[in-house]
């Protein structure tokens, strides 16, 4: 079997004596989505460490301590938002439930906050921690709910992680089924058990109409490329520029949040609604590429809570509207 860490090269030298020529054919192979750049192991970072918090107890584990815990090995792979499939490869690590239980008692209701070194933040439900995910077949087709083992992985193909390490979130499935790539947090440094996060959706009514799920928002808004902060007095709000979310419904490249400049120049309004039907209107002219108008999901590095939950529209002047549930484009 060819792994991500192997390159197989077959060189056929064919002597064509009658023609006095030599032909060389090089065939290289590797798994779909893998790379063929490495033949040696990368030593683990001796300073790799993860902080795990359950209730009032926090423990710090380094690479060596994690390797000393009970581990599992199995197949894992994911599907990117672009449709690209990565894996499946074999991963080794500590099952998440075992890791949490080593710190404290896991309550009946909870969510899991996973934070990467660059600030990227993933939220996993209790069902996901226990192994129930919406998944895909190995060729990327919808598979419905699949059973997985959620893992804090430190090995890929029996060697320290080259991509996304030294520690990353992995879902293992014995049938080689896949999960969403946005759940596979890289370079994990903090794992925190928090109060249960109620799932929510942001209704987007524009040229494209669809519902952005809470994990899609948190994934985009915590990404280092998109994340923006605004200070209002001694309070810091964090989220994503309003125009970035509008880019998900303006008929440009929704996957990469590419903003539709032509449409913005022609002009339209974005009407932002809260859960009670109140609204605020922002013009495309004032919104386009303006990082001073953000759709915030965090305040002082904590998720928004009621009555502002789940989202607030914030400028340096203050909160314009909160408890946001939908947005609508109104063309001129």
Per-residue model confidence (pLDDT) at position 8: 31
Give the length of the chain.
332
pLDDT, tens digit, 9 for 90 and up, residues 181-237 = 999 999 999 999 999 988 999 999 999 999 999 989 999 999 888 999 999 999 999
Tokens representing residue 166 in the block: 């030294």
pLDDT, tens digit, 9 for 90 and up, residues 59-81 = 999 999 999 999 999 999 999 98
d(CA 39, CA 156): 13
Q: Which residues are CB-neighbours of 216 under 8 A, at least 6 positions away? A: 182
Model confidence band, residue 9 (pLDDT cutoffs 50, 70, 90): very low
The structural domains of the chain, ordered by start, are: 1-38 (no CATH), 49-194 (3.90.420.10), 201-331 (3.90.420.10)
d(CA 271, CA 181): 31
> Which has the closest alpha carbon to 325: 253, 256, 257, 271?
271
d(CA 238, CA 227): 7
Q: Specify the pTM.
A: 0.79
Least confident of 1-10, 165-174, 289-298: 1-10
Q: Which residues of 251-270 are buried (b: 16+ CB within 10 A; e: fewer)?
A: ebebeebebbeebbeeebbb
The sign one gets for the Cα dihedral 121, 36, 87, 165 is negative
Contact by Cβ (8 Å): 296, 308: no
């Amino acid at each position: 079997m060819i792994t991500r860490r192997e390159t197989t090269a077959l060189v056929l030298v064919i002597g064509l004596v009658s023609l006095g020529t030599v032909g060389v054919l090089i065939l290289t192979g590797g798994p779909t989505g893998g790379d063929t750049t490495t033949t040696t192991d990368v030593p683990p970072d001796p300073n790799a460490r993860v902080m795990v918090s359950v209730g009032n107890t926090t423990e710090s584990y380094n690479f060596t301590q994690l390797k000393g815990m009970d581990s599992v090995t199995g197949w894992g792979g994911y599907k990117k938002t672009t449709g690209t499939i990565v894996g499946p490869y074999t991963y080794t690590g500590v099952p998440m439930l075992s890791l949490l239980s080593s710190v404290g008692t896991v309550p009946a209701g909870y969510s899991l906050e996973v934070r990467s070194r660059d600030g990227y933040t993933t939220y996993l439900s209790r069902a996901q921690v226990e192994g129930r995910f919406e998944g895909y077949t190995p060729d990327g087709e919808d598979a419905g709910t699949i059973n997985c083992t959620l893992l804090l992985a430190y090995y890929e193909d029996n060697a320290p992680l080259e991509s996304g390490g030294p520690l990353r979130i992995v879902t293992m499935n014995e049938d080689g089924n896949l999960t969403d790539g946005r759940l596979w947090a890289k370079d994990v440094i903090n794992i925190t058990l928090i109060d249960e996060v109620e799932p929510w959706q942001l209704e987007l009514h524009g040229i494209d109409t669809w519902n952005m799920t809470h994990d899609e928002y948190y994934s985009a808004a915590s990404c280092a490329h998109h994340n923006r902060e605004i200070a209002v007095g001694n309070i810091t709000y964090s989220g994503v520029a309003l125009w970035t979310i509008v880019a998900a419904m303006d008929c440009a490249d929704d996957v990469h949040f590419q903003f539709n400049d032509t449409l913005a120049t022609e002009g339209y309004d974005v009407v932002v609604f809260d859960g009670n039907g109140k609204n605020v209107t922002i013009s495309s002219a004032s919104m386009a590429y303006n990082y001073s108008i953000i759709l915030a999901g965090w305040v002082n590095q904590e998720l928004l809570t009621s009555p502002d939950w789940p989202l607030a529209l914030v400028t340096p002047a203050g909160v314009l509207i909160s408890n946001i549930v939908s947005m609508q484009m109104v063309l001129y």
